[in-house]
Chains A and B, each alone.
Chain A
Amino acid sequence: MSAAFDTRDNGVALTSTGEARDFFALLKPRVMSLVVFTALAGMATAPGSVHPVIGLASLLAIAVGAGASGCLNMWYDADIDVLMSRTAKRPIPAGRVLPSEALSFGLTLSVGSVLVLGLVANLLAAALLAFTIFFYAVVYSMWLKRSTPQNIVIGGAAGAFPPMIGEAVVTGDLGWHSIVLFAIIFMWTPPHFWALALVKSADYARAGIPMMPNVAGPASTRRQIVLYSLVMAPVAVLPALMGFGGLAYLVVSVTTGLAMIALAIRVWRTTEGPAATKACYSLFGFSIFYLFGLFAVLLVENGLGLMWALPKVIG
Chain B
Amino acid sequence: MSESRRKPPAPAAFSPEDMARRRRRSIALALVLGGLVVFFFVVTLVKTGPAILNRPL
Contact = CB atoms under 8 A, between A and B. Distances in A.
A19 B46 contact: no
Nearest to B15: A17
Contact of B10 (A12, A54, A57): A12
Interface of B: 4-5, 7, 9-12, 14, 18, 21, 24-25, 28-29, 39, 42-43, 46-47
Nearest to A54: B46
Nearest to A17: B21
User: Which of B5, B14, B29, B43 has the most C-beta atoms of chain A within 10 angstroms of its own C-beta?
Assistant: B43
A15 B42 CA distance: 37
Given A15-B14, A20-B24, A20-B28, A57 B9 contact: no
A53 B42 contact: yes
A51 interface: yes
B24 A19 contact: yes
Interface of A: 1, 5, 7, 11-15, 17-20, 51, 53-54, 57, 60, 119-120
B50 to A, nearest CB: 13
Given A5-B9, A20-B29, A54-B43, 5 more contacts: A7-B9, A12-B12, A15-B11, A19-B21, A53-B43
Contacts of A18: 25
A11 B9 contact: yes
Nearest to B11: A13
Contacts of A53: 42-43, 46
Contact of A12 (B9, B21, B39): B9
Contacts of B24: 19-20
B19 to A, nearest CB: 11
15 contacts: A11-B5, A11-B10, A13-B9, A13-B12, A15-B18, A19-B24, A19-B28, A20-B24, A20-B29, A51-B46, A53-B42, A53-B46, A57-B43, A119-B43, A120-B47
Contacts of A57: 39, 42-43
A5 B39 CA distance: 33
Please name the 5 residue pairs, one residue from A and one from B, whose CB atoms are nearest each other, closest first: A20-B28, A53-B46, A13-B9, A7-B9, A13-B11
B44 to A, nearest CB: 10
A17 B5 CA distance: 26
Contacts of B29: 1, 20
Contacts of A7: 9
B4 to A, nearest CB: 8
A1 B28 CA distance: 13
